[in-house]
Amino acid sequence: MSHTLSINGLQKTYPNGVKALDNVSLEISNGMFGLLGPNGAGKSSLMRTLATLQEADAGTATLDDINIFEQPEELRKVLGYLPQEFGVYPRITAEQLLDHMCVLKGITNSKERKELVHYLLDKVNLFDKRNKRVKGFSGGMKQRVGIAQALIGKPKLIIVDEPTAGLDPSERNRFYNLLADVGQEVIVILSTHIVEDVRELCTNMAIMNMGQLVYKGTPQNAMSELEGKVYQKMISRNDLQNYQNNFNIISNKMVGGQPLIHVWAESSPGEGFEPVAPNLEDVFFSKININHELV
Protein backbone atom coordinates (compact mmCIF):
# COMPACT_ATOMS: atom_id res chain seq x y z
CA MET A 1 0.00 0.00 0.00
CA SER A 2 1.28 3.44 -0.89
CA HIS A 3 1.66 6.14 1.75
CA THR A 4 2.27 9.88 1.39
CA LEU A 5 3.83 12.31 3.83
CA SER A 6 3.11 15.95 2.93
CA ILE A 7 5.01 18.74 4.70
CA ASN A 8 4.07 22.35 3.96
CA GLY A 9 5.72 25.56 5.12
CA LEU A 10 7.16 24.30 8.41
CA GLN A 11 8.70 27.02 10.57
CA LYS A 12 10.47 26.66 13.90
CA THR A 13 12.50 29.28 15.73
CA TYR A 14 14.03 28.41 19.10
CA PRO A 15 14.01 30.85 22.04
CA ASN A 16 17.69 31.69 21.38
CA GLY A 17 16.70 33.02 17.94
CA VAL A 18 18.02 30.08 15.91
CA LYS A 19 15.78 29.39 12.91
CA ALA A 20 15.80 25.59 12.87
CA LEU A 21 13.10 25.20 10.21
CA ASP A 22 12.72 27.94 7.62
CA ASN A 23 9.67 27.32 5.40
CA VAL A 24 10.32 23.60 4.80
CA SER A 25 8.02 21.84 2.28
CA LEU A 26 8.41 18.24 1.07
CA GLU A 27 6.34 15.39 -0.31
CA ILE A 28 7.61 11.88 0.45
CA SER A 29 6.16 8.50 -0.54
CA ASN A 30 7.10 4.84 0.02
CA GLY A 31 10.76 3.90 -0.03
CA MET A 32 13.97 5.22 1.43
CA PHE A 33 14.23 9.00 1.59
CA GLY A 34 17.58 10.54 2.53
CA LEU A 35 17.77 13.82 4.43
CA LEU A 36 21.35 15.10 4.22
CA GLY A 37 22.85 18.06 5.96
CA PRO A 38 25.73 19.17 8.19
CA ASN A 39 25.31 19.06 11.96
CA GLY A 40 23.04 21.92 13.00
CA ALA A 41 21.26 22.11 9.61
CA GLY A 42 17.83 21.48 11.13
CA LYS A 43 17.51 17.75 10.30
CA SER A 44 16.88 16.63 13.88
CA SER A 45 14.40 19.50 14.37
CA LEU A 46 12.46 18.28 11.35
CA MET A 47 12.59 14.65 12.52
CA ARG A 48 11.50 15.56 16.05
CA THR A 49 8.65 17.68 14.69
CA LEU A 50 7.40 14.86 12.45
CA ALA A 51 7.70 12.44 15.38
CA THR A 52 5.43 14.79 17.46
CA LEU A 53 8.20 15.42 20.01
CA GLN A 54 8.09 19.17 19.43
CA GLU A 55 5.63 21.56 17.83
CA ALA A 56 6.26 23.74 14.81
CA ASP A 57 5.53 27.48 14.95
CA ALA A 58 3.73 27.35 11.60
CA GLY A 59 2.99 25.00 8.73
CA THR A 60 1.22 21.68 8.31
CA ALA A 61 2.18 18.00 8.01
CA THR A 62 -0.04 15.07 7.07
CA LEU A 63 0.58 11.34 6.74
CA ASP A 64 -2.13 9.97 4.44
CA ASP A 65 -5.29 11.21 6.19
CA ILE A 66 -3.66 11.94 9.58
CA ASN A 67 -3.02 15.57 10.49
CA ILE A 68 0.22 15.13 12.45
CA PHE A 69 -0.10 18.24 14.62
CA GLU A 70 -3.82 17.92 15.35
CA GLN A 71 -3.83 14.11 15.78
CA PRO A 72 -0.47 13.28 17.38
CA GLU A 73 -1.86 10.17 19.08
CA GLU A 74 -3.01 8.77 15.72
CA LEU A 75 0.38 9.47 14.19
CA ARG A 76 2.24 7.76 17.04
CA LYS A 77 0.28 4.55 16.41
CA VAL A 78 1.78 4.27 12.92
CA LEU A 79 5.22 5.74 13.62
CA GLY A 80 8.49 3.91 14.11
CA TYR A 81 11.22 6.17 15.51
CA LEU A 82 14.89 5.46 16.05
CA PRO A 83 16.41 8.58 17.62
CA GLN A 84 20.07 9.54 17.40
CA GLU A 85 20.72 8.28 20.93
CA PHE A 86 18.69 5.11 21.36
CA GLY A 87 18.80 4.78 25.16
CA VAL A 88 18.41 1.29 26.57
CA TYR A 89 17.59 0.10 30.05
CA PRO A 90 20.83 -1.35 31.43
CA ARG A 91 19.67 -4.56 33.05
CA ILE A 92 17.05 -5.96 30.72
CA THR A 93 17.39 -8.40 27.85
CA ALA A 94 16.60 -7.74 24.20
CA GLU A 95 13.39 -9.77 24.51
CA GLN A 96 12.26 -7.90 27.64
CA LEU A 97 12.99 -4.53 26.03
CA LEU A 98 10.94 -5.30 22.92
CA ASP A 99 8.12 -6.77 25.01
CA HIS A 100 8.02 -3.54 27.03
CA MET A 101 7.91 -1.47 23.82
CA CYS A 102 5.03 -3.63 22.54
CA VAL A 103 3.08 -2.86 25.70
CA LEU A 104 3.71 0.86 25.16
CA LYS A 105 2.42 0.51 21.59
CA GLY A 106 -0.82 -0.99 22.94
CA ILE A 107 -0.31 -4.70 22.19
CA THR A 108 -1.96 -6.21 25.27
CA ASN A 109 -2.21 -9.90 24.33
CA SER A 110 0.90 -11.58 25.78
CA LYS A 111 0.91 -14.47 23.27
CA GLU A 112 0.67 -12.00 20.37
CA ARG A 113 3.48 -9.94 21.92
CA LYS A 114 5.77 -12.94 22.29
CA GLU A 115 5.21 -14.01 18.67
CA LEU A 116 5.85 -10.48 17.42
CA VAL A 117 9.00 -10.03 19.54
CA HIS A 118 10.43 -13.34 18.32
CA TYR A 119 9.57 -12.43 14.70
CA LEU A 120 11.30 -9.04 15.03
CA LEU A 121 14.38 -10.45 16.77
CA ASP A 122 14.66 -12.98 13.97
CA LYS A 123 14.24 -10.24 11.33
CA VAL A 124 17.12 -8.21 12.79
CA ASN A 125 19.22 -11.35 13.29
CA LEU A 126 19.30 -11.20 17.10
CA PHE A 127 17.07 -14.14 18.00
CA ASP A 128 19.98 -16.13 19.46
CA LYS A 129 20.87 -13.11 21.64
CA ARG A 130 17.32 -12.56 22.93
CA ASN A 131 18.21 -13.45 26.56
CA LYS A 132 21.36 -11.34 26.68
CA ARG A 133 21.39 -7.94 28.35
CA VAL A 134 21.23 -5.12 25.83
CA LYS A 135 23.79 -3.19 27.87
CA GLY A 136 26.52 -5.58 26.65
CA PHE A 137 25.60 -5.30 22.96
CA SER A 138 27.89 -3.70 20.35
CA GLY A 139 26.83 -0.43 18.70
CA GLY A 140 25.53 -2.28 15.65
CA MET A 141 23.53 -4.74 17.75
CA LYS A 142 21.95 -1.88 19.72
CA GLN A 143 20.99 -0.21 16.45
CA ARG A 144 19.35 -3.46 15.31
CA VAL A 145 17.33 -3.59 18.54
CA GLY A 146 16.43 0.03 17.79
CA ILE A 147 15.17 -0.90 14.31
CA ALA A 148 13.23 -3.85 15.77
CA GLN A 149 11.41 -1.54 18.21
CA ALA A 150 10.75 0.93 15.37
CA LEU A 151 8.98 -1.88 13.45
CA ILE A 152 6.48 -2.66 16.23
CA GLY A 153 2.84 -2.11 15.31
CA LYS A 154 3.08 -2.13 11.49
CA PRO A 155 4.29 1.48 11.08
CA LYS A 156 3.55 3.51 7.95
CA LEU A 157 6.36 5.98 8.67
CA ILE A 158 9.79 5.12 10.07
CA ILE A 159 12.23 7.87 11.04
CA VAL A 160 15.88 7.04 11.69
CA ASP A 161 18.14 9.86 12.87
CA GLU A 162 21.92 9.52 12.27
CA PRO A 163 21.70 5.72 12.39
CA THR A 164 25.17 4.65 11.24
CA ALA A 165 27.39 7.00 13.25
CA GLY A 166 29.78 4.82 15.21
CA LEU A 167 29.10 1.56 13.34
CA ASP A 168 31.92 -0.46 11.84
CA PRO A 169 31.74 -1.22 8.07
CA SER A 170 30.22 -4.71 8.41
CA GLU A 171 27.60 -3.53 10.92
CA ARG A 172 26.83 -0.65 8.60
CA ASN A 173 26.25 -2.97 5.64
CA ARG A 174 23.96 -5.17 7.71
CA PHE A 175 22.06 -2.08 8.77
CA TYR A 176 21.74 -0.86 5.15
CA ASN A 177 20.32 -4.21 4.05
CA LEU A 178 17.84 -4.24 6.89
CA LEU A 179 16.63 -0.70 6.15
CA ALA A 180 16.35 -1.36 2.41
CA ASP A 181 14.26 -4.46 3.18
CA VAL A 182 11.93 -2.47 5.44
CA GLY A 183 11.68 0.48 3.05
CA GLN A 184 9.81 -1.39 0.35
CA GLU A 185 6.42 -1.17 2.06
CA VAL A 186 6.59 2.03 4.14
CA ILE A 187 8.11 5.52 4.17
CA VAL A 188 11.56 5.47 5.73
CA ILE A 189 13.29 8.81 6.35
CA LEU A 190 17.00 8.49 6.90
CA SER A 191 18.47 11.65 8.43
CA THR A 192 22.25 11.75 8.25
CA HIS A 193 25.36 13.85 7.60
CA ILE A 194 27.06 10.81 6.01
CA VAL A 195 26.78 11.09 2.22
CA GLU A 196 27.53 7.40 1.72
CA ASP A 197 24.37 6.42 3.65
CA VAL A 198 22.20 8.24 1.13
CA ARG A 199 24.16 7.14 -1.94
CA GLU A 200 23.88 3.48 -0.92
CA LEU A 201 20.23 3.45 0.05
CA CYS A 202 17.98 6.24 -1.11
CA THR A 203 15.97 6.74 -4.29
CA ASN A 204 15.01 10.29 -3.29
CA MET A 205 16.72 12.85 -1.13
CA ALA A 206 16.82 16.41 0.15
CA ILE A 207 19.71 18.50 1.44
CA MET A 208 19.18 20.86 4.38
CA ASN A 209 21.37 23.76 5.44
CA MET A 210 20.66 26.39 8.09
CA GLY A 211 17.01 25.37 8.40
CA GLN A 212 16.29 25.49 4.67
CA LEU A 213 15.97 22.86 1.94
CA VAL A 214 18.65 23.61 -0.64
CA TYR A 215 17.96 20.57 -2.85
CA LYS A 216 15.26 17.95 -3.33
CA GLY A 217 15.20 15.22 -5.96
CA THR A 218 17.08 12.04 -6.83
CA PRO A 219 20.79 11.54 -6.09
CA GLN A 220 21.27 10.86 -9.81
CA ASN A 221 19.69 14.16 -10.92
CA ALA A 222 21.71 16.06 -8.35
CA MET A 223 24.92 14.64 -9.80
CA SER A 224 23.76 15.27 -13.38
CA GLU A 225 23.23 18.97 -12.56
CA LEU A 226 26.95 19.24 -11.74
CA GLU A 227 28.13 17.32 -14.81
CA GLY A 228 31.01 19.16 -16.51
CA LYS A 229 31.30 21.72 -13.71
CA VAL A 230 33.59 19.96 -11.23
CA TYR A 231 37.38 20.13 -11.54
CA GLN A 232 40.09 18.80 -9.27
CA LYS A 233 43.71 19.58 -8.56
CA MET A 234 46.38 18.50 -6.09
CA ILE A 235 47.88 21.58 -4.47
CA SER A 236 50.35 22.35 -1.71
CA ARG A 237 49.09 23.17 1.76
CA ASN A 238 50.61 26.65 1.63
CA ASP A 239 48.56 27.52 -1.45
CA LEU A 240 45.19 26.49 -0.01
CA GLN A 241 44.23 29.96 1.24
CA ASN A 242 45.11 31.48 -2.12
CA TYR A 243 42.89 28.97 -3.96
CA GLN A 244 40.07 29.55 -1.47
CA ASN A 245 40.20 33.26 -2.28
CA ASN A 246 40.13 32.74 -6.05
CA PHE A 247 37.99 29.66 -6.74
CA ASN A 248 34.64 28.18 -5.68
CA ILE A 249 36.10 25.32 -3.68
CA ILE A 250 33.50 22.60 -3.11
CA SER A 251 35.69 20.42 -0.93
CA ASN A 252 39.25 19.63 -0.05
CA LYS A 253 40.61 16.42 1.37
CA MET A 254 44.05 15.25 2.24
CA VAL A 255 45.58 12.66 -0.07
CA GLY A 256 49.06 11.55 0.95
CA GLY A 257 49.46 14.65 3.09
CA GLN A 258 48.48 17.14 0.37
CA PRO A 259 45.10 18.80 -0.27
CA LEU A 260 43.12 17.51 -3.26
CA ILE A 261 40.61 20.23 -4.04
CA HIS A 262 37.37 20.03 -6.02
CA VAL A 263 36.16 23.35 -7.46
CA TRP A 264 32.93 24.37 -9.17
CA ALA A 265 33.33 26.24 -12.46
CA GLU A 266 31.21 26.84 -15.59
CA SER A 267 34.22 26.04 -17.78
CA SER A 268 37.76 24.78 -17.22
CA PRO A 269 39.64 27.01 -14.79
CA GLY A 270 42.95 25.97 -16.45
CA GLU A 271 45.97 26.12 -14.13
CA GLY A 272 46.38 22.34 -14.08
CA PHE A 273 42.79 21.54 -13.05
CA GLU A 274 41.33 18.31 -14.46
CA PRO A 275 37.61 17.65 -15.06
CA VAL A 276 36.17 15.00 -12.73
CA ALA A 277 32.83 13.14 -12.70
CA PRO A 278 30.75 14.63 -9.87
CA ASN A 279 29.80 12.40 -6.97
CA LEU A 280 27.18 12.89 -4.27
CA GLU A 281 29.78 14.37 -1.96
CA ASP A 282 30.38 17.13 -4.53
CA VAL A 283 26.63 17.77 -4.64
CA PHE A 284 26.43 17.95 -0.86
CA PHE A 285 29.35 20.33 -0.43
CA SER A 286 28.39 22.47 -3.44
CA LYS A 287 24.95 23.03 -1.94
CA ILE A 288 26.26 24.06 1.46
CA ASN A 289 29.67 25.62 0.73
CA ILE A 290 29.40 27.84 -2.33
CA ASN A 291 27.33 30.73 -3.58
CA HIS A 292 23.96 29.25 -4.54
CA GLU A 293 23.30 31.74 -7.30
CA LEU A 294 26.04 29.89 -9.17
CA VAL A 295 24.53 26.43 -8.97
Residue 111 lies in a domain: yes
| pLDDT on residue 139 | 81
Residue 94 lies in a domain: yes
- The reply to whether 92 and 31 lie within a common domain is yes
| pLDDT on residue 292 | 46
- The reply to whether 164 and 67 lie within a common domain is yes
Residue 294 lies in a domain: no
Domain that holds residue 170: 4-218
Model pLDDT for residues 251-281, shown as the tens digit of each residue: 889 999 899 999 999 999 988 999 999 999 9
Residue 295 lies in a domain: no
| pLDDT on residue 20 | 95
Pairing outcome for strands 258-264 and 248-255: antiparallel
| pLDDT on residue 110 | 93
- The reply to whether 114 and 131 lie within a common domain is yes
Calculate the average pLDDT of the chain: 89
Closest CA to 81 of 114, 61, 120, 52: 52
| pLDDT on residue 163 | 78
pLDDT exceeds 50 at position 293: no
- The reply to whether 202 and 252 lie within a common domain is no
Residue 74 lies in a domain: yes
How many domains, the chain?
A: 2
pLDDT exceeds 50 at position 2: yes
175 burial (CB, 10 Å; 0-12 / 13-18 / 19+) is buried
Residue 126 lies in a domain: yes
| pLDDT on residue 294 | 39
Mean pLDDT, residues 67-79 taken together: 93
- The reply to whether 184 and 264 lie within a common domain is no
The last residue of one of the domains, among 218, 235, 259, is: 218
Full-model pTM: 0.86
Residue 104 lies in a domain: yes
Mean pLDDT, residues 174-203 taken together: 85
Q: Check which CATH number belongs to the domain holding 52 and give it.
A: 3.40.50.300
- The reply to whether 142 and 275 lie within a common domain is no
Would you say 153 and 128 are in contact if contact means Cβ atoms under 8 Å apart?
A: no
